[in-house]
Amino acid sequence: MSEPVFRYHRRGVLGLAAAGVVGAALPTFARSDRSLSPSRGRAKSALIVLLSGGPSQLDTFDLKPHAPTGIRGEFTGISTSLPGVSICEHLPRMAQQTDRWAIVRSLSHGEHNHLLATHVALTGRPTPIPRGGSDLDRVQSRSDFPNFAAALDYLRPRSDGVPTGVSLPNYLIEGPLTWPGQHAGFLGLRHDPWAINQDPNDANFHVDGLRLQEGLSPARLLTRRDLLEGLNRIGAAPGGDARCQSFAQQQEIAINLLTSSKVAQAFEIQREEPATRDRYGRNKFGQSLLLARRLLEAEVPVVQAAMGIVQTWDTHVDNWGRLKNTLLPQLDQGLAALMDDLTTLGKLEETLVIVMGEFGRTPRISTLPGQAVPGRDHWAHVYSGLFAGAGVRGGQVIGQSDEIAAYPVSRSWSPADVCTTLFSALGVSPDAELLDPLGRPNRLLNGDVIEPLYTGA
């Protein structure tokens, strides 16, 4: 079974109307004192746009028009603002914005399973497999390596009511399977990013637990917090219990949240002008990107926005119909609007934007048994991703795949490199370490910075 998801809920704590947190956290461990990197550090925040399921590189950003019929697919390329570079015909807005993006065509790793590849993509680490367990049904566990937001929260804990990380619009769960790589893993519940499981496109969208009860002012809540702290001190045993201390810390986080309006207002997407919402697209993905932009404006350091639901891009069947009719138009509209707004607001220069799936799709077209419409299967040996903002040089293509987009023919870049690039951009020290429950140090940055993003391919 999966671990509980970290969410804030409004509830009484000893009748004091303070907020509690579901579950208990593991103990808090020492963290690195060296938090700032002398190298990058230009980004104040990062946005990961996760294309869960794995989009086809051959049908998006690395078309192979001269490949054989059973490989090249149905789409043609269109010219972009970058001379000599074409992308899919169903991405016309993004074709006009390639001067803002660096397209990396040589992302690569070796894990073709959705769950394990998601952990790799969001942590830069292989998924730990329990002794005697199967990698086919490996689900989220507290033995996982922490994801981006959780690791940053461990290194730079906040006390201002602003969460270090928010993921939306849904947790990646399908039936009994919960995708690993979505929470703080061995760091414990306290460092889990917020998981929003609601559709921002819903007319009734709201997030529970972000408002004080009627008649309870922030000043009154702080008075009750002082009383609660006094009761906690009276009941505390000498030396304290780690779980009790963690719960008290969680209470403090919740109270800080409820006495700050910044995050609550960010979730009020209804404040946006109808024309702005229309630009992003009146769909789950478009409104999730708009909400992500609002969270970045509220100074949330790490935001993860998934497109739709888990495995949205898992196009084993009807690859080209799904891409043409839904996935690519929504991606094109939402990302174009996001980039326009981040640029206008002056946020792009301080926000690293990464668009990626957990892997790509097979070069060879196939038809599943019992299906009539063909598609493409899982493929991690080479796939494409997009990077922009925070000093990234747009208007370039980094890396090259072979003639059928099966393998890199230039230097490949791994999820570990993406992880290192992200934390380097946020100014995290190359020596930063995370301690597991046994006190063992784990090096956070385990790859190389993708330097061509900043220096040019």
For 359-418, what is each residue's pLDDT tens digit? Answer: 999 999 999 999 999 999 999 999 999 999 999 999 999 999 999 999 999 999 999 999
How many Å apart are CA 365 and CA 371, to the nearest integer? 13
* CATH at 335: 3.40.720.10
How many Å apart are CA 424 and CA 214, to the nearest integer? 44
How far is CA 128 from its chain centroid? 20
Q: How many residues does the chain have?
A: 457
The reply to whether 2 falls in a domain is no
- Which residues does residue 360 pair with via DSSP β-bridges, in sequence order? 379
Give the residue from 47, 82, 75, 32 showing the smallest Cα distance to 289.
Answer: 47
Give the residue from 408, 413, 342, 354 showing the smallest Cα distance to 385.
Answer: 354
Evaluate whether 5 touches 196 at the Cβ level (below 8 Å).
no
The reply to whether 1 falls in a domain is no
What average pLDDT does this structure show over 264-275? 95
Give the residue from 218, 324, 228, 219 showing the smallest Cα distance to 262.
Answer: 218
How many Å apart are CA 43 and CA 101, to the nearest integer? 16
Whole-model pTM: value is 0.84
Give the residue from 67, 72, 102, 76 showing the smallest Cα distance to 324.
Answer: 76
How many Å apart are CA 452 and CA 457, to the nearest integer? 5
- Burial of residue 312 (number of CB atoms within 10 Å: 0-12, 13-18, 19+): buried
The reply to whether 176 falls in a domain is yes
Least confident of 73-87, 159-173, 440-454: 159-173
Q: Structural domain tally of the chain?
A: 1
Indicate whether 137 pLDDT > 70.
no
For residue 175, name the pLDDT band (cuts at 50, 70, 90). Answer: confident
> ∠346-50-28 over CA atoms, to 5°?
85
- Which residues does residue 50 pair with via DSSP β-bridges, in sequence order? 306, 356
Query: What digits encode the pLDDT tens for the residues 317-339?
Result: 999 999 999 999 999 999 999 99
Evaluate whether 443 touches 436 at the Cβ level (below 8 Å).
no
**What are the tokens at 214?**
């009627």
The reply to whether 3 falls in a domain is no
How many Å apart are CA 144 and CA 148, to the nearest integer? 12
Specify the 3-state DSSP secondary structure of 174: strand
Token pair 């810390």 in the structure block, residue: 249
Q: How many CA atoms does the CB half-sphere of 26 hold within 13 Å?
A: 19
Q: Identify which has the larger pLDDT, 106 or 17.
A: 106
Q: Identify which has the larger pLDDT, 222 or 113.
A: 113
Q: Identify which has the larger pLDDT, 240 or 124.
A: 124
Evaluate whether 60 touches 91 at the Cβ level (below 8 Å).
yes
For residue 89, name the pLDDT band (cuts at 50, 70, 90). Answer: very high
For the chain, first and last CA: distance in Å?
Answer: 45
Evaluate whether 349 touches 390 at the Cβ level (below 8 Å).
yes
The reply to whether 20 falls in a domain is yes
Indicate whether 185 pLDDT > 90.
yes
The reply to whether 421 falls in a domain is yes
> ∠440-441-447 over CA atoms, to 5°?
140
pLDDT of residue 269: 97
Domain hosting residue 97, numbered range: 8-455
**What are the tokens at 358?**
């957990």
Indicate whether 278 pLDDT > 60.
yes
